[in-house]
Amino acid sequence: MKFFVDTADTAEIEELAATGLLDGVTTNPTLIHKSGKDFLAVTQEICALVDGPVSAEVVALDHAGMLREAEVLRRIADNVCIKVPLTVDGLKTCKALTGEGTMVNVTLCFSANQALLAAKAGATFVSPFVGRHDDNGFDGMALIRDIRLIYDNYAFDTQILAASIRHPVHVLEAAKIGADVATMPAKVVKALFHHVLTDQGIEGFLADWARTGQAIG
Ligand code: E4P
């Protein structure tokens, strides 16, 4: 499973990239606003920090406008992945861009039928929003499960990018189902490393090691 971080905060991205375990980045207009930085400039900075795909979202709602914005965004770097909403115009744009070899992430997916359309449009990634689905009384993981089943039935190449991840259990469940990617806030990535028994184990081993009076090397 690939791990993407869902942020436009370059300090967070740099810290996680240093672990060698970060496979990409997703941003959206809300995260760009939160960064307080210029969209194109911060996207360029992010693209230089990671080798993997960096999703940058168009804001036009019509096909021609999306294509125009995508043209500007894909000039930033080779690892830019154009993010389009799951609408008729978004999918038309997806089809056109992936046909030319540009990576596309189809975002704001809330049903398995929408995900089926995204795959038919040749999407590189589809982003079902697990957390927002749960927040509204639906079962986000059931959505991931349905999409996995459909994509496997037809051997679609589109990668399932579990998005709107709120906590480590979402990551665990998505991994068990076989989502290809999980994008999550930096605090969720960091939480994956921790376990109270790991901390206690280190404490105990170090205490006993000190009692041996030895040193390594
Ligand atoms: C995905 O690409 C989105 O940026 C993101 O996961 C949305 O998450 P949210 O529901 O926490 O805003």
pLDDT digit string, tens, across residues 166-215: 999 999 999 999 999 999 999 999 999 999 999 999 999 999 999 999 99
Cα 217 vs. chain centroid, distance in angstroms?
42
Domain CATH for 194: 3.20.20.70
The residue type at 69: E
- Asked whether residue 71 is assigned to any structural domain, the reply reads yes
83 is catalytic: yes
For the Cβ of 7 lying below 6 angstroms from any atom of ligand 1, the answer is no
User: pTM for this structure?
Assistant: 0.96
Determine the pLDDT at residue 50. Answer: 98
- Cα–ligand 1 centroid distance for 9 (angstroms): 14
Rounded-to-integer distance, Cα 40 and Cα 46, Å: 10
- Asked whether residue 63 is assigned to any structural domain, the reply reads yes
135-164 pLDDT, tens digit per residue, is 999 999 999 999 999 999 999 999 999 999
Determine the pLDDT at residue 37. Answer: 98
- Cα–ligand 1 centroid distance for 164 (angstroms): 4
Q: Which of 28, 130, 170 to mutate to test the pocket of ligand 1 (most atoms within 8 A of CB)?
A: 28
Tally Cβ neighbours within 10 Å of residue 115: 27
Q: Whose CA is nearest to atom 5 of ligand 1?
A: 164
Determine the pLDDT at residue 157. Answer: 97
Number of domain units in the chain: 1
Measuring CA to CA, how many Å separate 187 from each of 26, 50, 167, 194? Answer: 15, 18, 9, 11
Q: Which of 30, 46, 143, 164 to mutate to test the pocket of ligand 1 (most atoms within 8 A of CB)?
A: 164
- Asked whether residue 217 is assigned to any structural domain, the reply reads no
- Asked whether residue 89 is assigned to any structural domain, the reply reads yes
Rounded-to-integer distance, Cα 211 and Cα 187, Å: 36
- Asked whether residue 18 is assigned to any structural domain, the reply reads yes
- Asked whether residue 200 is assigned to any structural domain, the reply reads yes
Rounded-to-integer distance, Cα 89 and Cα 78, Å: 24
- Asked whether residue 151 is assigned to any structural domain, the reply reads yes
Cα 90 vs. chain centroid, distance in angstroms?
18
Residues paired with 163 in a beta bridge: 129
Determine the pLDDT at residue 144. Answer: 98
Q: Give the active site residue among 2, 34, 83, 120.
A: 83
- Asked whether residue 112 is assigned to any structural domain, the reply reads yes
Q: Whose CA is nearest to atom 9 of ligand 1?
A: 164
Determine the pLDDT at residue 153. Answer: 98
**Could you give the percent of the chain with pLDDT greater than 70?**
100
The answer to whether residues 140 and 129 touch, using CB atoms and an 8 Å cutoff, is yes
Residue 9: both structure tokens together: 């905060």
- Cα–ligand 1 centroid distance for 131 (angstroms): 8
Rounded-to-integer distance, Cα 104 and Cα 57, Å: 10
72-99 pLDDT, tens digit per residue, is 999 999 999 999 999 999 999 999 999 9
- Boundaries of domain holding 87: 2-212
